[in-house]
Amino acid sequence: MTARILHADLVLPDPADQGIADGAVLVLDGRIELVGTYGEVHRRTAPQTPVHHFPGATILPGLIDCHVHLSMSGEGDAVATLDASDDRSLLLAMAGRAQELLNAGVTTVRDLGDRGGLAFALRDAIAAGRLPGPRILAAGAPVTVTGGHCWYLGGQADGVDEIRAVVRRNVQNGADVIKVMATGGGLTPDGPAPWVAQYTDEEVRAAVEEARRFGRPVAAHVHGSDGVRIALEAGVDTLEHCTFIPPPGSARGPDDAAAELIKKIAAEGASVCPTFSAVLGETIKRIGESGVRPWLDLVRHQHEQGVRLLAGTDAGIPGSGFGQYVDGLEWFARAGLDNGAILTAATSAAADALGIGHRTGRLRSGLEADLLVVDGDPRTELAALRRALLVLARGRALRPRGEFGGLR
């Protein structure tokens, strides 16, 4: 058995709860064995157990990115780059992007759309220990109408029967989650606009029913209010983006219908991943903060109404790099959320929403050892998350700049 004690000034078992000053975590064979004060953990551990001290640091659960696209580069015309890549070179690039996420303290990602099921292969290689990287939950090809949003990923389906068939195919190929493009989107300019619903109530409901038959959750890409309503009434688990973007010429900000939908989202327990990322910084340069502020205010309003928000960056789309996770969290702060709520959205709330709270998302005895050691206290300074000293993913240790002190 391999046991290690990690000791820091502060341990955050769950950012929603009180931290432990002068705390420690005992990691044993890839799982968390004990969490408590250093004195308590040390007293209950064999005397020869190695101890790694991190003065001035905080130990917290590994971060979770609920929305990434490992098959996309995050630079320039990501779609054209994807189209020009053969599967072999693309898989190698995806492995590098997974490493970037891990270096940033992200120990779990949900890949919500790739080509050819390559994310499944990468997921399995990482889980087997053949490659370093975060835990991957993968959707495979998102379900979309012919010529619809991200049609080039291979999930085109028209009508209830084709939708059910694509869902079954994804499950057979190894999908952990089903992704449905309920509205159009910006990455497919020749397809339906973001505010336009791509599928009817019956069609999205069919996708959810088929996914449920195989025990898979459903994530819905939604922008316009019609798409949000259709996805919510169909019973999807997470709403991605959820911007309530209006058609051109409409009043900015959520209308009365959106306000009612937000109340319904909170009441029904669906989760919203706004996909805040570094892209917003570039957006402000183009259109000014007044153009972005309605979206920030919308997310704050959802939080105030009790909607469970999730951290996710849409990493892979142009302008959202795989090492920029903290940028997205800082946009939550600019929207008006406090750091405790933001850290919860990035850890325990995310794990629960993704159905893996029994495995990760907290520092608790019996859970897998996904944790992050940072210089400083992220409850008072989110930028501390950029100063990673150690990352453990299922007990496998690394530093952003090399391995740490013999930990494996």
Whether 133 and 122 have beta carbons less than 8 Å apart is answered as yes
Q: What is the pLDDT of residue 162?
A: 98
- Reported as a pLDDT band with limits 50, 70 and 90, residue 254 is low
* More confident call, 98 vs 250: 98
Residues 6+ away with beta carbon under 8 Å from 213 = none
Residue 204 has pLDDT above 60, yes or no: yes
- Percentage of the residues of the chain whose pLDDT score is greater than 90: 88
CA distance 48 to 352: 36
- Is the pLDDT reported for residue 1 higher than 70? no
Please report which confidence band the pLDDT of residue 359 belongs to, taking 50, 70 and 90 as the band edges: very high
Query: What integer best gives the mean pLDDT of the chain?
Result: 94
pLDDT at 401 over 60: no
Look at residue 86 and tell me whether its pLDDT is greater than 70.
yes
Closest listed residue to residue 238, CA positions, set 338, 110, 325, 147 = 110
The whole-number average pLDDT for the span 78-94 is 94
Q: What is the predicted pLDDT for the residue at 391? A: 97
pLDDT at 252 over 70: no
User: Which whole number is the average pLDDT over 351-355?
Assistant: 98
pLDDT digits (tens, 9 = 90+) for 104-160: 999 999 999 999 999 999 999 999 999 999 999 999 999 999 999 999 999 999 999
% of the chain with per-residue pLDDT over 70: 96
* Predicted pLDDT of residue 76: 86
pLDDT category at 246 given cuts 50, 70, 90 is confident
Of 169, 93, 103, 172, the residue nearest 134 (C-alpha):
103
pLDDT level of residue 31 (50, 70, 90 thresholds): very high
**Domains along the chain with CATH numbers:** 3-62+361-398 (2.30.40.10), 63-353 (3.20.20.140)
Provide the 3-class DSSP secondary structure of residue 287. Answer: helix
Query: Is 60 exceeded by the pLDDT of residue 373?
Result: yes
* 251 pLDDT more than 80: no
Summarize the chain as % helix, strand, coil (round to 5).
35, 25, 40
Supply the pLDDT for residue 289.
86
- Give the Cα separation of 262 and 83 in Å (integer): 37
Which residue carries 């090809």 as its tokens? Answer: 141
Chain centroid, CA 12 distance in Å: 20
- Cα(338)–Cα(347) distance, integer angstroms: 15
Q: Give this prediction's pTM.
A: 0.96
Cα–Cα distance list, 196 to 115, 224, 275 (Å):
24, 6, 19
172-188 tens-digit pLDDT: 999 999 999 999 998 99
